[in-house]
Amino acid sequence: MYLSGIPAGMLVDRKGPRLAILIGAFSLFAGYYPIYRVFDASVNIGVGWLALFSAFTGIGSCFAFSASIKVAALNFPKSRGTATALPLAAFGLSAFFFSTLASWLFPGNTSDFLLVLATATTSIVFAAFFFIRVVPRPGAYSAVASDEPDISSNRLRRTKSRDSHTSFDIEPGMEASNVHFQVPVDDETEEEGIGSGSISPVPPHLNPTLTITAATPTPNPSSPNTPGAATPAAATTPRAVDDERTSFLSTSSDSSSYGTKDDSVRRSLNEPPVDSRRASVDGLQHLDIRGWALARQPEFWRLFLMLGILTGIGLMTINNIGHSAKALWYAFDPKKDPKEVERFQGVHVSILSLCSFSGRLISGTVSDVLKKRFGYSRVWLVFASSSVFLLGQFAGMAVSNPHSMWLVSGLNGFSYGLVFGVFPTIVSEAFGLHGLSQNWGTMTLGPVIFGNITNLFFGRIYDGHSQQMEEGRYECLEGVGCYQSAYALTAFASLAVMVTALWDIFLHRRDNAGKRKVMTATGAFVH
pLDDT digits (tens, 9 = 90+) for 341-361: 888 888 898 899 999 999 999
Angle at 50 between CA 48 and CA 53, to 5 degrees: 110
Cβ contacts of 519 within 8 Å, gap of 6 or more: 241, 282, 283, 526
**Predicted pLDDT of residue 158:** 42
What tens digit of pLDDT does each residue of 175-229 get?
A: 544 344 444 444 333 333 333 333 344 444 444 433 333 344 444 444 444 444 3
**Predicted pLDDT of residue 345:** 86
**Predicted pLDDT of residue 321:** 92
**Predicted pLDDT of residue 489:** 95
Question: What homologous superfamily is domain 291-527 in, according to CATH?
Answer: MFS general substrate transporter like domains (1.20.1250.20)
Cβ contacts of 329 within 8 Å, gap of 6 or more: 336, 341, 344, 402
**Predicted pLDDT of residue 146:** 45
Domain boundaries, the chain: 1-134, 138-287, 291-527
CA distance 218 to 205: 26
Positions in the chain whose pLDDT score sits under 50: 139-168, 176-285, 525-527
Residues across the chain? 527
Cβ contacts of 355 within 8 Å, gap of 6 or more: 409, 410, 411, 412, 413, 414, 417
CA distance 195 to 263: 17
Provide the 3-class DSSP secondary structure of residue 461.
Answer: helix
The DSSP bridge pattern shows strands 181-183 and 467-468 to be unpaired
* 3-state per-residue secondary structure call for 167-179: CCCCCCCCCCCCC
User: Which amino acid is present at 339?
Assistant: K
pTM recorded for the entire structure = 0.71
Cα separation values, 443 from 11, 72, 362, 379, 420, Å? 16, 18, 21, 15, 11
**Predicted pLDDT of residue 172:** 62
**Predicted pLDDT of residue 137:** 66
Is residue 473 left, alpha or beta, with left meaning phi > 0 and alpha meaning psi from -120 to 50?
Answer: beta
Q: What is the crossing angle of helices 436-443 and 47-75, to 10°?
A: 130
CA 288 to chain centre: 15
- Contact present, 375 and 367 (Cβ < 8 Å): no
